[in-house]
Amino acid sequence: RAKQDGRGRVRFFKREMGRQAQERRQLELDLRRAVLFAPQEFEVHYQPVIDVATRSPTGLEALLRWHHPERGLVSPADFIPVAEEIGLIVGLGELVLRRACADATRWSPTLRVAVNLSPAQFRDPRLVETVAEALSDSGLPPGRLELEITEGVLLRRTEATMTTLHRLKSLGVRIALDDFGTGYSSLSYLRSFPFDKVKIDRAFVRDIETSSDDAAIVRAVTGLCERLGMTSTAEGVETEEQFRLVEAERCTEAQGYLFSRPVPASEVPEVLALVTASASPSRIDRCA
């Protein structure tokens, strides 16, 4: 009987693995189809980034969404790694970059747009050209574009990595280090690379109210940012209490559901108006 159970289990696992491989193949096919023939299924959403001192928006982060005809909304966490593996991220990334630059030209000139770059995009030899073209075609001033890279990009502290970073900087765009603290980061990265901003991963913000370790880590990063002349942004701020604490730990910017979820381009003006209104002291007066 035990032997039979064992065989049954093996059959079950085989079937399960087959099903997962099948699903993965289908996702790859769907992604190819969408990138090549149905780019309208991709939509760029925007989430405001807030200056902690004034509570007013400094810019918005572009976050990709995929409206799959049958699966509905597919999360970027599920399809970006696949796009990266099968060589589709460079084309998809260019689509995001171009739309984000074009959308940002319709906002106040005081607002920046942040675009995420995956490691494969960063290794693409045409990256700097692509960015320069997206800027000149849209007319967006380079200083209003910020590129977010993760620590994965920096793993190879090679000459090529440094050259690309410096060539991007000399276009006039800003560079942010995203999800800081989750990867292989060390504080020494912050002085070896020419970042303008460090985004502290939401893992450190989530429990900041109860974890004095997390608060201490946030404080260490913001202290170093201050000394090195970099902006520090707290990601994933969901509550007023978290906001109060990241302010106390001297983050200069905050981003999260407390202010707004990512919204389609058409809703950006409304969201900016809401954020700006809740920042103004007149509202506090009215509430009092």
Interface ranges with Mg ion (CB under 5 A): 116, 148, 178-179, 235
Q: Are 168 and 134 in contact (CB under 8 A)?
A: no
Residue nearest to ligand C2E (CB): 256
Instruction: Choose the contact partner of 175 out of ligand C2E, Mg ion, none; CB within 5 to 8 A by kind.
Output: none
Residue placing its CB nearer to ligand C2E in the complex, 2 or 77: 77
Residue placing its CB nearer to Mg ion in the complex, 116 or 232: 116
Instruction: Choose the contact partner of 118 out of ligand C2E, Mg ion, none; CB within 5 to 8 A by kind.
Output: ligand C2E
What is the torsion angle, in degrees rounded to the nearest 10, for the CA atoms of residue 204, residue 168, residue 186 and residue 152? 80
Instruction: Choose the contact partner of 262 out of Mg ion, ligand C2E, none; CB within 5 to 8 A by kind.
Output: ligand C2E
Query: Minimum distance from CB of 96 to Mg ion (Å)?
Result: 11
Query: For the chain, how many residues are written?
Result: 288
Write out the residues near ligand C2E by the rule CB under 6 A: 47, 63-64, 75-77, 80, 93, 96, 116-118, 148, 178-179, 202, 236-238, 255-257, 262
Identify the bridge partners of residue 232 per DSSP, sorted by sequence position: 198
Query: Minimum distance from CB of 4 to ligand C2E (Å)?
Result: 44
Residue placing its CB nearer to ligand C2E in the complex, 184 or 285: 184
Q: Are 168 and 148 in contact (CB under 8 A)?
A: no
Task: Record the tokens describing residue 117, joined without a space.
Answer: 């770059």
Instruction: Choose the contact partner of 64 out of ligand C2E, Mg ion, none; CB within 5 to 8 A by kind.
Output: ligand C2E
Q: Are 115 and 147 in contact (CB under 8 A)?
A: yes
Whole-number Cα distances in Å, 284 to 48, 121, 280, 287:
21, 45, 7, 5
Query: Minimum distance from CB of 176 to Mg ion (Å)?
Result: 8
CA atoms of 202 and 179, how far apart (whole Å): 7
Residue placing its CB nearer to Mg ion in the complex, 34 or 63: 63
CA atoms of 115 and 191, how far apart (whole Å): 22
Query: Minimum distance from CB of 236 to ligand C2E (Å)?
Result: 4
Which residue has 């319709």 as its token pair? 106
CA atoms of 155 and 239, how far apart (whole Å): 33
Instruction: Choose the contact partner of 80 out of Mg ion, ligand C2E, none; CB within 5 to 8 A by kind.
Output: ligand C2E
Query: Minimum distance from CB of 18 to ligand C2E (Å)?
Result: 28
Query: Minimum distance from CB of 232 to Mg ion (Å)?
Result: 13
Give the H or E element holding residue 220: helix 212-228
Pairing type for strands 72-74 and 197-200 reads unpaired
Residue placing its CB nearer to ligand C2E in the complex, 107 or 287: 107
What is the torsion angle, in degrees rounded to the nearest 10, for the CA atoms of residue 203, residue 268, residue 59 and residue 241? -40
Instruction: Choose the contact partner of 131 out of Mg ion, ligand C2E, none; CB within 5 to 8 A by kind.
Output: none
